[in-house]
Structure 1
């Protein structure tokens, strides 16, 4: 017989702000900033009852994670339809994992701490096709300073309809 329990708790806090600043030389600048913090913990417990051949076994895993994330972006509107922008994202991860069982009651602890930086450039064009239809074309070039991560190009098309 197998019995298992799982417990998960997560607390997330954050702040976000956005501001559009009209300008004379270009249409304006849209500034965006977000900070988010998450503290998460998980607990796994499983027990396999004795079946006549094998003794009873149990396994536990406790995981504690903290995440910090900062995202900053600026979009410069050349006119009401076309924007050119840049963004920066930073993420910090701290993870601690403890595993134990009746075979290893002293347990094993694994700790990981790492941070990541991402940069990007983007452009977007919004086109009002008719009174009820619009389209937005966008392209973003992702630039990474981490040797393990690859740069990328994202291309998007959004079509909206109002009835």
Structure 2
């Protein structure tokens, strides 16, 4: 594996404690992320994202990375993605929103527009779900689009279980169906602290794929953070390690 600045930053951050407790609440979250593979670091994906929560979100409620999920608040978000790999210039914009009712039911809708070498396509999705406790949700979703997009629907469930000696475990499962096949995803991330997790994921879409991963959220001020993640697919033709790093601002 090539030595990269991102990999080095991940190792250093995992050994460093969070400097700030991040006592402030936030309603705005903005981030810039770069994702790549250790085999070809320069061929990566840039993401710029922003999310607004209608009510304040507590950063002391569980692991930092899960604050938004655990808040169970209505929100609006946008994400812009760009990469240029193998002579393909891809730009994509996604806008989504979630409204949470007092009854703990929620509805979500999203619209995406992608441009691949100046050829545009549109996608749409909707989701209906229920928060059955303060850290768990179940939902049904549907997505489709134009330009020969694949129609998809399915079910998802997610639950964070707090532990006494460590922060807790984030569990997720998802089933989706298309005209071609069914896909199953099962994942578990163990948060050793509110900053550091180690996890594993299993995916079956006709072929079985196992992934192990780890990540760290470095809260270096009340407002700004840096995140680092690494993942490796086991017994796969995919070489290298998937890496990502981001800067997050919350205010």
TM-score (norm 1): 0.59
Task: Sort the Cα spacing of 1:84 and 1:153 in 2 relative to 1 into closer, same or farther, 3 A.
Answer: same
Q: Which has the higher contact order (CA 8 A, sep 6+)?
A: 2
Distance 1:162 1:17 in 2: 27
1:151 Cα shift? Answer: 4.3
Q: Does 1:38 align with 2:178?
A: yes
Shift of 1:144: 2.6
Aligned-partner Cα distance in 1 for 2:159–2:239: 29
Query: Which structure has greater helix proportion?
Result: 2
2:169 to 2, 12, 29: 29
Query: 1:152 aligns to what SS in structure 2?
Result: coil
Of residues 178, 181, 192, the one that matches 1:67 is: 181
1:138 equivalent in structure 2:
229
Moved more, 117-126 or 149-158: 149-158
Unaligned runs of 5+ in 2: 1-146
For structure 1, which runs of at least 5 residues remain unmatched after alignment? Answer: 1-6, 40-65, 92-114
Say whether 1:125 aligns with 2:216. Answer: yes
Larger % of strand: which?
1
> Alpha-carbon deviation of 1:130?
1.5
The two structures, once aligned, show a CA RMSD in angstroms of 1.9
Across the two proteins, how many residue pairs are aligned to each other?
105
Q: Find the structure with the greater CA-based Rg.
A: 1
What is the distance in 2 between the residues matched to 1:8 and 1:153? 32
